Amino acid sequence: MKKNGVREIARLANVSIGTVDRALHGRRGISDSTRDRILAIAENLGYKPNLAARALSVQERAVRIAICIPREIHFYFDQLRQGMLAEARSFEHLGIETVYRPTPRLGIDELATVTELVRKGDINALIIAPGNPESLSSVIDEAEKGGIRVVCVDTDAPQSSRSTVVCVDGAVSGMLAGELLGRFLEPGACVAVATGMLAAEDHRKKVDGFCRTFPQVCPNGRVVEVIEDKEDHDIAFEKSFGVFTRCKDLKGIYVSTGNCLPVFRALNVCGLAGKIKVVATELFAEMLPYFKNGTIFASITGRARAQGQVAMRLAIDYFLHGNPLPPRHLLVPHIAMRSNLHLFPEVRSSMMGVRNW
């Protein structure tokens, strides 16, 4: 392999490498004629700069990307973190560094943690899953003003000036659930929705999307109850148990909260497993039995790992290649059903060796 670098170009053009550099980078202080001549030679030679040498020479400062998401054992954020760190690792050769500053739980201590990260001023980007978007707005604005690109993940902070957000649109999840359940059920069917807390934007959007879509798909279909469990196991069980006993003609339910197990238990207790068709959200090992026994027909997942990966990648491509950050990046939610369950890493390990899938 012959070497063709600035030196070779210089030799062929009978100039010095300094002149070649000026020509190649369109710097001033060079006559048009020599520049054109040099560029022609470079082109002709198929010159491609050695980027390792360039990196070494210009000594570009490492890009530091901070991650601030809940530490919660909750599998969701674990996946999110894994996606980010795995992606970052592939680019550490190029000077991508991560700073992992988890909060103890969603929303807890996040303002303090973020503020500290931003004020310290040694990071280039901040990826955050905001638990309380409103309370973070001002510090996010401060960060952006200070040149720190803020990437929201999972949840948006729409009032802030964050650079971008990577998420699954809750409305789409809800609409998909509505469309599926609407197709699964006969016209005129009554359904219910179980949610966490309607105060949370994502939960509200899911419920809204569902309630809007279901009647469109299922003629005369009606959403007769919205159960709000406040993320509490007991409330979830009691309220759903109440609905199942009260509402005798209930045909389906959209369980739009991760706190779904109590609802399924209530179904089992009422002997309605498989009778009332369930579309759920997210996916974790404990849900497997309910897929198996036919309680859950489908579940719409938020693709935490993919979200983390994309968020990190957007930040990296922004700094490394100057790719602009899109206002938002919406992922296509995945629909988990019995047929494709084995493809989801969230549950694959739990399915090992289990027959009859």
Q: Which of residues 177-206 bind a second copy (CB under 8 A)?
A: 178-180, 183-184, 186
Q: Which of 176, 255, 287, 312 is the binder for a second copy (CB under 8 A)?
A: 176
* 90 lines the binding site for a second copy (CB under 8 A): yes
| Cα separation, 281 vs 260, whole angstroms | 8
Residue 75 lies near a second copy (rule: CB under 8 A): no
φ, ψ of residue 343 in degrees (nearest 5): -90, -5
Nearest Cα to 6, choosing from 59, 45, 56? 45
Binding mask 22-41 for DNA (x = CB under 7 A): x-xx--xxxx--xx------
Residue with the two structure tokens 């310290």: 120
Selection from a second copy, DNA, none that 178 binds (CB < 5 to 8 A by kind) is a second copy
DSSP codes, 242-308: HHHHH-TTEEEEEE-SS--HHHHHHHHHTT-BTTBEEEEES--GGGHHHHHTTSEEEEEE--HHHHH
In one-letter notation, the amino acid at residue 114 is V
Q: Which of 12, 17, 45, 235 is in the footprint of DNA by CB under 7 A?
A: 17
Q: 16 touches which of a second copy, DNA, none (CB within 5 to 8 A by kind)?
A: DNA
Q: Which stretch binds a second copy (CB under 8 A): 109-117, 173-181, 194-202, 267-275?
A: 173-181
201-217 and 170-184 are packed helices; what angle lies between their axes, rounded to 10 degrees? 30
Which tokens belong to 204? Answer: 């509200």
- Tokens coding 288: 């497997």
Alpha carbon distance 45, 47 (integer Å): 5
Binding of residue 19 to DNA (CB under 7 A): yes
DSSP string, 99-148: EE--BSSTTTTHHHHHHHHHHH---SEEEE--SSHHHHHHHHHHHHHTTP
Q: Is 132 exposed, middle or buried (0-12, 13-18, 19+ CB in 10 A)?
A: middle
In angstroms, what is the minimal distance from the CB of 41 to DNA? 13
Residue found by looking up tokens 């009647």 in the block: 215
Residue 55 within binding range of a second copy, rule CB under 8 A: yes
**Residue 354 contacts a second copy per CB under 8 A:** no
Cβ-based neighbour number of residue 107 at 10 Å: 16
For the CB of residue 175, give the shortest distance to DNA in the complex, in Å: 50
Give yes or no for residue 50 binding a second copy (CB under 8 A).
yes
Interacting residue with DNA among 46, 58, 61, 322 (CB under 7 A): 58
State which of residues 44, 159, 161, 340 lies at the interface with a second copy (CB under 8 A).
340
Q: Does 57 bind DNA (CB under 7 A)?
A: yes
Q: Which residues bind a second copy (CB under 8 A)?
A: 1, 50-53, 55-56, 61, 89-90, 92-95, 169, 172, 175-176, 178-180, 183-184, 186, 209, 213, 297, 316-317, 320-321, 330-335, 337-340, 343-344
Q: Which residues bind DNA (CB under 7 A)?
A: 3, 5-7, 14-19, 21-22, 24-25, 28-31, 34-35, 47, 49-50, 53-54, 56-59
